[in-house]
Amino acid sequence: MRFTGALLALLASIPNALAYPSDSAWLNEHVKRYDGFPDNLADRLGTYQPPGPNDSRGPCPMFNTLANHGLINRNGKNLNSSDIKKAVPRGFGIAEDAIETALHNFEVVCEYVNGFSCGDSANDGTFILTNLTLLGEPHAFEHDHSYSRQDYRQNWFHGGITDNIYFNSSIFQDSLNAVGYKPSNPPKKATTNYQQFNEIRLRRESTQNQADFPGWFQQNIPTTLFETGFIFGATFDRDSNGTMKGSTPMVRLDWWNYWFSEESFPTNLGWVPASTEVFNQNFILSVSSAVLHASITSLPKLLPAGATATTFPGPGNLPEGDPSPTFPLFQSAPYVAPTSPGAIKTRRAALANPQASFPTLPASVSSVIASEVTAKPSLIAAAVQLAGPAPPKFNLYRQSIDTVTLKNQIAAAQSYEKLVITKITSLTSA
């Protein structure tokens, strides 16, 4: 496997990136280009099919969408990196230089979870991603305070594992609430700018900092901002020719909502792919920097330390050596989008209701205790006070950390969780 410094160099440069260009000459030059792909969007984007119960999907809406449209293996398994490289520009108009970092991380996580090399037998630098679900390994490619997913240790009183892989409408609506957007039928066209998206980001950090199990929340600004750059690139407001409207990119909220909730291309709402000449690495870095530096009108409560910082170190590579599974992955049939509203023109047939999965309580905590914790949040604070401060946070992206130290930190976090649960049990039974 190839470990490079690309991720570190790329993300570390965000604070110095300039705001996205806005001169008229630039706008006139970058009209829609299909970059050799079919002009007919139906031919280019394939046909949507919902995932089956045995298919694999992950925490990334982009790759779930590509699988649902057959641009990568529909079952979401045994994905060759070279096929991913072809599919991402075809589906979203993303230039290859913008996905190299993501592909590198995919390979690292694949080997970290599986415990063996994911390199291709051709030994030509390509690799095989076993499936999309393993990207849900906590705090690796997956991260806390997602725009549309629960955190791994959210609602911890229902059991140790929460669904951090599949789309969650309540979480996503929490993101949209930050800018006052409510999905409707038919969809309401609306846009959001850098400042508003920064408000969304901070709202999600605040919410999850309070919702996660004490000591488990992990702030990951660089990855969130990189994801934000992808969202802007995929959904910036454009005309039917793909030309950006206005002097700076604005996220179309109706497109973003459709893409994330349906895990499909919002062509029914007038969306077309961007041009790879526009949606490249520079675009992502520029937008990420602009969002990070955008001033906001009011700060959410209980933000984690450093949430409003405008500079940060870029994440490095995952630790090498002894790549064994750290956490059990959430297991369930993949998320299937609900039937689209009748007022949205769609070619889809009616689908069954999404399958819901509910984590089970650990043996040490009864449903009575869980309900007590829900009804009396002060129990959490009391239990944490009895248990003492949480151990130092682990961070899979720290280059200076070795595998032994990392595993010791994770074990300490798991022991702390058990200790807090024990204190909750004693408080509710007293």
Active site residues: 227
Query: Could you say which DSSP state residue 213 is in?
Result: P
**For the stretch 395-409, what's the b/e string if a residue is b when 16 or more beta carbons lie within 10 angstroms of its beta carbon?**
bbbbeebeeeebeeb
CB atoms within 10 A of CB 360: 9
Please provide the DSSP assignment of 39-95 as one string.
Answer: SSHHHHH----PPPTT----S-HHHHHHHHTTSS-TT-EEEEHHHHHHHHHHHH---
Query: How far, in Å, CA of 201 to CA of 275, rounded?
Result: 26
Q: Are the C-beta atoms of residues 29 and 145 closer than 8 Å to each other?
A: no
Reduced to 3 states, what is the DSSP secondary structure of residue 354?
Answer: coil
31: exposed, middle or buried (Cβ count in 10 Å: 0-12, 13-18, 19+): middle
Query: Could you say which DSSP state residue 269 is in?
Result: G
Query: How far, in Å, CA of 76 to CA of 53, rounded?
Result: 12
How many residues in the chain? 430
Reduced to 3 states, what is the DSSP secondary structure of residue 105?
Answer: helix
Is the preceding peptide bond at 377 cis, omega within 30 degrees of 0? no
Query: How far, in Å, CA of 20 to CA of 284, rounded?
Result: 9
Tokens at 61, concatenated: 């809406």
Q: Are the C-beta atoms of residues 15 and 221 closer than 8 Å to each other?
A: no
Tokens at 416, concatenated: 């702390």
Angle subtended by helix axes 281-293 and 194-211, to nearest 10:
70
Q: Are the C-beta atoms of residues 85 and 94 closer than 8 Å to each other?
A: no
Angle at 28 between CA 27 and CA 29, to 5 degrees: 90
Query: Could you say which DSSP state residue 401 is in?
Result: -
Angle at 351 between CA 152 and CA 171, to 5 degrees: 30
